[in-house]
Structure 1
Amino acid sequence: MDFDIRDLLKAMLLCLLIMIGWQYLQQKTRPPAPPDQQPQGPAAPKTPTPSTAAPMVTDEPQQKEIITQPGADWQVRMVAPGEDIVLGDRNQPAGYKSQITINASMAAVERVLLSEYKYKVNDEQTGYPLLESCLDENNRPLGSFQLGRLKLKNRIEVFDLSRGCWQLTRNKQTDATGEQTVAFTAVIEDGQKQPVLQIVKTYRYGQENGGYDLDFDVHLVNMTRRFLELESLEFWGPMGLMREGPRTDRRDVVAGYQVAEGEIDIKRVNLRTLEKDPQKAPIEKPKVGAIKWFGISNKYFAAVVRPYTPNGNQMVDYISDNQVRGRALSIKPGKTGQKLRSTLTVLSRLVREDPIKPSDRAEFNFKIFLGPISTKIFRQHYAGLHYEALLAGRSCAICTFQWLTALVLKLMDGIYAGVRNYGVAIIILVLLMRLLLHPITKKSQMNMMRMQKLQPQMEELRKKYGNNKQELSKRTMELYKEQGMAGNFLLGCLPMILQLPIWVALFTAVDGNVEIRHHGLFPASWHWLTDLAAPDRLIPFSWFGVEEPIEIPLLSGFMGGIDAFNLLPILLTVAMFLQTKFTTQPQMAQANPQVAQQQKMMMYMMPAMMLIFFYAAPSGLNLYIMASTFGGLIEQKFIRKHIKAEQEKAAEVKVAATGKVSDRLGPKKKKPKPQKKFFS
């Protein structure tokens, strides 16, 4: 379960318990003395010691290996670096979903920009930086899909293919369908400068699978007249993913294992875990099943590597130990002088059981998904690959009811199709829910007003049986039964109880939904409520040079990091304060000072908790709760006014029916009786 979901559920359950306790307290004849409590706030999380990227963890014990040096028997042929190559285009009219920059020296992807998305909502040009170049522990540049150390069986050399050895052997070519291809070649040669092993890396990018796939092939060509056996080839996966959202860092290394036909078991390790405990770098693998795909993901986007065989879609066996590893890295600083930023990558080792025959080759083929985490895209282009499992852990099926989340999404999408604004769609959704819950809300208000009328009788019971709690409780229940109110003390908070699943379902529907990302109530030029999937960020702290979210001791565990002044949670808090104040029972407070003190504490504690839990929540959720709360206040006012008018009308009818007007109105007055006007 995602940490944001856990925090939200804690807030919902805590608010629910407080509301139930409050309602019970107001109905209880004599509130018990509060038990001695020793509240324990959450311990401040230990700040991990900053460190550089952790070294790669391997399963084998560390052994001293002889690294190839000039003059050794076999070595990698070094070449002069060429110019970088760009595949695709970030400009949407070109028709490509990505712009992929390949570093010629590393023959690796240096940067990927997604042409359909922006990094910030007010960016003028599209191009979301999905992947970036990183730095290793020696501050050397790294790129996505880079090859590292190659080891052959029966050879003592370890060949470094990371950089400086790649020559462009097939310049960028574009066919009639728009597919672009580029190839690089590295050569391992013997002591006589004769080629022994040729390593060919080929990138192909076009419109396959909607334009989200990058094809990547590695061929090892045996240039000798004898068999060659590959022991391992280090393969760096995608890297450089950016953080999305200040509340929690959802950057994960993910791996999907096919444990049965049509069933995927997804394993993941978070970046923070990798930074704190590098020993957890190997991704836990299930007891059965083969690896289907692996990669990295954040809140909205993913880069997923899927190994395959050209002659079919069967599972491959060239991922060593059927396992991948995560690793924390630093993103390479750009030209603007920004500081190093933490990120992650995934590594694997390629192996081959069969030897490579003379003049033959070993093939390793991959399809790499570069794009948004979108159920629509996955179902349309990747049916059967179970990429939807990337969404696992982002919702609580037990507490949110996935069908309810799907229903909320369909309602929002349906309303959005008509109004073309998700903010307006959320407000309309509030009105619909208020209409559906109106009968229950009205009954709740009627019950509350009846309880207020019972306060004089309950006060008499307190005075008479105050020293006998058991008898007092018995007499109180008898009074409730006489008035037809037995068991109704929860009715006052029933509307909120029914709203809780809607809140959590809406949170699940909005938070992490790339379809709603950068959709706001107002246009981007307004700089407020421009992204309903993120906090409203009225005043970003970046305006004052603060780039990283601020962590508040004790509170950050509930509200996450703060990177802006958010106005909407404050408005929500005001609405909750007014609702709490409006629903208190002054008669009971006047009769019992202890209840008055507890009501006063509730009036301030409940809104304060809402502010803490929802400060960094998606603005779409806060907009819904705020609009629903203010709408509830208006609704309660009209309901109470209507109930009061009906009660006055019923009293007039009762007086007229009994004919004993003098008993209720006192001595006759010269003015005509108002009851006669009622029947005239």
Structure 2
Amino acid sequence: MEEKKKLDITQLIGFALIGAVLVWYTMSSKDKAPAEETAKTEIVNTNNSQNATDNTIVTDSTLQAEAVKKYGNFAYAVASGTEEEGTTTLESDVLKLVIANKGGQIVEARLKEYDDYQKNPLYLIKDQNADFNIQFGTQDNKLINTKDLIFEPSTSKNGQNQVASFKLKVSNTQYLEYRYELKPNDYMIDFSVRSVGLENVINSNNQINLEWNLTAKRQEKSIKYENQMTALHYEKEDGKFDDLSVASEDEETEENVDWIGYKQHFFSTILLTNTPFEKAELKSESLVKDALVDSLVTKSFSTTAPLKLTNGALSYNMGLYIGPNIHENLASYNKGIENVMNLGWGIFGWINRNVFIPIFHFLSGLLNGFNGSYGVVIILMTLVVRLLMSPLVYKSYVSSAKMKVLKPEMDAINAKFPGKENQMKRQSEIMALQRKSGVNMMAGCIPALLQMPVFFALFRFFPSEIDLRQQPFLWADDLSSYDSVFEWSTHIPILSSFYGNHFSLFPVLASVAIFFYMRMNQGQQMSMQQPAQEGMPDMQKMMKMMMYFSPIMMLFFFNNYASGLSLYYFVSNLLTLSIMFVIKNYVIDEEKILAKIHENRKKPKKTSKFKQRLDEAMKQAQAQQEAQKKRKK
């Protein structure tokens, strides 16, 4: 029994050892199989990777050969897909720029403090609407367009300024560089173009052209009105400013150009250069053929200007302004770029720059402390202007009153010398009467003429004042655009093109006010008007026609204009009516005027040399008229 038990124990131990060996063997086989399989997979992947590398080498070699054939030395700058789409962003509190590696040019420019008419972020450059290119030839007879090639970007800091450098390389030491420097809270970007080590690459015998194109995107409520205020402006080296036509396609070739501005109503993109362009070919084309259909862009601008080499190299320090048209800001650069704002020529522009802009900004700054609206600012500005001009209104009205007092005597002269044959004698007697009475026949015209510059200056001020943009007042949602209270979609061929598809209320109020103003003013004029002379136009009929014609024209013309201007004229005419009413009823006394005239007649009169020559001329004309009568008899 003991031997049998020992045998059983020995067998059990043997079986256990055999089982352990089998388990070890089995486990060892399972671990080995996946390892071999993994090894095979890695080999396959390695082979595939090797094949891909071989294919890339072949592809790159092909591309490189094509690039060398097309671009010559600049084949170094040719890159593939993902690098072409690379961009660099420069951003300040007011401006955000996105610059593409391809072409080294700005592809997005956003004005962060402004929105477009739909309250979306305002971009002056986006969606490939701008294009900056330098075209030149190389020594190996290749034509290079920088917009087609890849620049190598790098960024740095210059104090608080952000700097982006883009290099179009021939080698690591030979390149064409665009350098952008963005300053905090400034819309002016320092921009330079220079070449390094390309003296033996660029062909100096071929013309080097800078090409700059931009299609102006719609930013405002009325595209028709915006298009009228969108234009290409430029300054020549002699300090003369000019612009291309806003109404149709226009092009000019100018010499020694200091800057070129693509103005888009309230915003501008301006290229300045410290080295004037010797010649610039400028072109502008209106893209708005029908304001009801063409609703995305206004005008296309293009500039082509040759660049010159200095000691075989390009070296241009420029500036690029991308921002709002604010007169004070533009003038602060001392480059004359404030002239992109069409404030009027001569005396009209002087009045806007030195009178209306300071008054408007003073009042707006004053009211901002009380959360005042710009509609209230316009009303206060109207009050200030009318009070300043009230002496002219007074002088004009006094002159009219004097003429009214003299009317019976002038009627007597007309009756004494009737007919066309006595015209010269009649005029001579009337002038003598006026001179003797101390009445100047031009005194009533001069105040009216002095008010005309103010009218035309305001006509330019309101469309240019960016502070009115998107500012609401009463029913108007934008004082820089029309104030529609009713709109319709039906297209009426003639009416829609001239009047528009909306009804504005402020122009109606302004037209009614100007009608009553002209009626009161012409009532005073007609009361002293002389009867129509034979062969002379009937002034009374003409004045009556103007009294009805002017408000109607204003009604139609101002329907698409800035509602701020219509508001001004409405308030201005109401104030003028009030001032005239006060002058007529409480200031002017016709009896005192008559007494003053009698006193003037008693005083000896000194005749000026001008009046003496005028009297002599009239006497000669009268003598010739008498001689003609005798010859006829």
Question: TM-score, with normalisation over the residues of structure 2?
Answer: 0.64
Report whether the alignment pairs 1:412 with 2:378: no
Q: Given that residues 107 and 146 in structure 1 are in contact (C-alpha distance below 8 angstroms), is that contact kept between their aligned partners in structure 2?
A: no
Match of 1:496 among 423, 431, 448: 448
Instruction: List per-residue Cα deviations over 1:423-444 (Å, max 9, x = no partner).
Output: 3333223333443444554454
Report whether the alignment pairs 1:323 with 2:279: yes
In structure 2, the partner of 1:663 is: none
Once the two structures are TM-superposed, the CA of residue 178 in structure 1 deviates from its matched residue by 6.2
Q: Given that residues 549 and 562 in structure 1 are in contact (C-alpha distance below 8 angstroms), is that contact kept between their aligned partners in structure 2?
A: no
Q: Given that residues 133 and 239 in structure 1 are in contact (C-alpha distance below 8 angstroms), is that contact kept between their aligned partners in structure 2?
A: no
Q: Given that residues 446 and 643 in structure 1 are in contact (C-alpha distance below 8 angstroms), is that contact kept between their aligned partners in structure 2?
A: no
3-state SS of paired residue (2:115): coil
Match of 1:99 among 71, 96, 99: 96
Pick which of 457-466 and 585-594 moved more. Answer: 585-594
Find the aligned partners of 2:123 and 2:401 in 1 and give their Cα distance. 58
Find the aligned partners of 2:429 and 2:547 in 1 and give their Cα distance. 30
Find the aligned partners of 2:586 and 2:455 in 1 and give their Cα distance. 29
State the identity as a percent: 17
Q: Given that residues 81 and 166 in structure 1 are in contact (C-alpha distance below 8 angstroms), is that contact kept between their aligned partners in structure 2?
A: no
What's the RMSD between the two structures over aligned residues?
4.7
In structure 2, the partner of 1:301 is: 267
Find the aligned partners of 1:505 and 1:202 in 2 and give their Cα distance. 42
Distance 1:459 1:417, change over 3 A: same
In structure 2, the partner of 1:284 is: 254
Q: Given that residues 378 and 388 in structure 1 are in contact (C-alpha distance below 8 angstroms), is that contact kept between their aligned partners in structure 2?
A: yes
Match of 1:431 among 365, 380, 383: 383
Aligned length: 502
Distance 1:117 1:564, change over 3 A: farther
Match of 2:122 among 128, 137, 140: 128
Find the aligned partners of 2:454 and 2:71 in 1 and give their Cα distance. 66
Q: Given that residues 216 and 299 in structure 2 are in contact (C-alpha distance below 8 angstroms), is that contact kept between their aligned partners in structure 1?
A: no
3-state SS of paired residue (2:478): coil
3-state SS of paired residue (2:186): helix
Q: Given that residues 306 and 368 in structure 1 are in contact (C-alpha distance below 8 angstroms), is that contact kept between their aligned partners in structure 2?
A: yes
Unaligned runs of 5+ in 1: 1-67, 90-94, 135-141, 188-194, 309-314, 357-361, 652-680
Find the aligned partners of 2:141 and 2:413 in 1 and give their Cα distance. 93
Distance 1:213 1:562, change over 3 A: farther
Alignment of 1:612-627 (within 5 A): 616-627=560-571
Distance 1:485 1:85, change over 3 A: same
Report whether the alignment pairs 1:372 with 2:308: no
Q: Given that residues 99 and 106 in structure 2 are in contact (C-alpha distance below 8 angstroms), is that contact kept between their aligned partners in structure 1?
A: yes
3-state SS of paired residue (2:576): helix
Q: Given that residues 164 and 180 in structure 2 are in contact (C-alpha distance below 8 angstroms), is that contact kept between their aligned partners in structure 1?
A: yes
Instruction: List per-residue Cα deviations over 1:451-506 (Å, max 9, x = no partner).
Output: 55666666566556544545654665566567x36334x44455433322222333
Which amino acid counterpart does residue 109 of structure 1 have in structure 2? I
Instruction: List per-residue Cα deviations over 1:102-128 (Å, max 9, x = no partner).
Output: 3444443223121223333xx435x43
3-state SS of paired residue (1:124): coil
In structure 2, the partner of 1:177 is: 160
Distance 1:347 1:549, change over 3 A: farther
Find the aligned partners of 2:178 and 2:531 in 1 and give their Cα distance. 82
Find the aligned partners of 1:201 and 1:249 in 2 and give their Cα distance. 38
Alignment of 1:118-267 (within 5 A): 118-120=115-117, 123-125=118-120, 127-134=121-128, 143-147=130-134, 149-153=135-139, 155-163=140-148, 165-166=149-150, 169-170=152-153, 177=160, 179=162, 181=164, 183=166, 185=168, 199=175, 201-207=177-183, 210-217=186-193, 219=195, 229-230=203-204, 231-237=206-212, 239-242=214-217, 246-247=224-225, 249-259=228-238, 264-266=239-241
In structure 2, the partner of 1:387 is: 337
In structure 2, the partner of 1:396 is: 345
Distance 1:456 1:414, change over 3 A: same
3-state SS of paired residue (2:132): coil
In structure 2, the partner of 1:344 is: 301
Query: 1 or 2, which has the higher helix percentage?
Result: 2
Once the two structures are TM-superposed, the CA of residue 239 in structure 1 deviates from its matched residue by 1.8
Which amino acid counterpart does residue 87 of structure 2 have in structure 1? I
User: Which one has the largest radius of gyration?
Assistant: 2
Find the aligned partners of 1:330 and 1:451 in 2 and give their Cα distance. 52
Once the two structures are TM-superposed, the CA of residue 529 in structure 1 deviates from its matched residue by 6.3
Instruction: List per-residue Cα deviations over 1:61-89 (Å, max 9, x = no partner).
Output: xxxxxxx9668385443521444535245
3-state SS of paired residue (2:476): coil
Q: Given that residues 280 and 304 in structure 2 are in contact (C-alpha distance below 8 angstroms), is that contact kept between their aligned partners in structure 1?
A: yes
Find the aligned partners of 1:340 and 1:598 in 2 and give their Cα distance. 43
Find the aligned partners of 1:598 and 1:550 in 2 and give their Cα distance. 27
Unaligned runs of 5+ in 2: 1-64, 288-292, 596-633
Once the two structures are TM-superposed, the CA of residue 285 in structure 1 deviates from its matched residue by 0.8
Distance 1:434 1:305, change over 3 A: closer
Match of 1:605 among 542, 549, 563: 549
Instruction: List per-residue Cα deviations over 1:175-228 (Å, max 9, x = no partner).
Output: 8836253646466xxxxxxx6996555453432683531535454555x9x766
In structure 1, the partner of 2:110 is: 113
Find the aligned partners of 2:320 and 2:391 in 1 and give their Cα distance. 53
Match of 1:487 among 430, 440, 443: 440
Q: Given that residues 136 and 144 in structure 2 are in contact (C-alpha distance below 8 angstroms), is that contact kept between their aligned partners in structure 1?
A: yes
Q: Given that residues 286 and 298 in structure 2 are in contact (C-alpha distance below 8 angstroms), is that contact kept between their aligned partners in structure 1?
A: yes
Find the aligned partners of 1:363 and 1:447 in 2 and give their Cα distance. 66
Question: TM-score, with normalisation over the residues of structure 1?
Answer: 0.60
Which amino acid counterpart does residue 212 of structure 1 have in structure 2? M
Which amino acid counterpart does residue 304 of structure 1 have in structure 2? I
Find the aligned partners of 2:397 and 2:294 in 1 and give their Cα distance. 60
In structure 1, the partner of 2:630 is: none
Find the aligned partners of 1:549 and 1:197 in 2 and give their Cα distance. 64
In structure 2, the partner of 1:538 is: 484
Which amino acid counterpart does residue 518 of structure 1 have in structure 2? R
Once the two structures are TM-superposed, the CA of residue 250 in structure 1 deviates from its matched residue by 4.7
Find the aligned partners of 1:590 and 1:208 in 2 and give their Cα distance. 68
Q: Given that residues 549 and 563 in structure 1 are in contact (C-alpha distance below 8 angstroms), is that contact kept between their aligned partners in structure 2?
A: no
Match of 1:518 among 439, 459, 469: 469
Match of 1:577 among 490, 515, 518: 515
Q: Given that residues 253 and 346 in structure 1 are in contact (C-alpha distance below 8 angstroms), is that contact kept between their aligned partners in structure 2?
A: no
In structure 2, the partner of 1:568 is: 506
Report whether the alignment pairs 1:507 with 2:459: yes
In structure 2, the partner of 1:85 is: 87
Once the two structures are TM-superposed, the CA of residue 578 in structure 1 deviates from its matched residue by 0.9
Distance 1:634 1:186, change over 3 A: same
Which amino acid counterpart does residue 344 of structure 1 have in structure 2? F
Distance 1:106 1:491, change over 3 A: same
Instruction: List per-residue Cα deviations over 1:500-526 (Å, max 9, x = no partner).
Output: 222233334434244x34174x45xx5
In structure 2, the partner of 1:15 is: none
Q: Given that residues 187 and 323 in structure 2 are in contact (C-alpha distance below 8 angstroms), is that contact kept between their aligned partners in structure 1?
A: no
Q: Which has the higher contact order (CA 8 A, sep 6+)?
A: 1
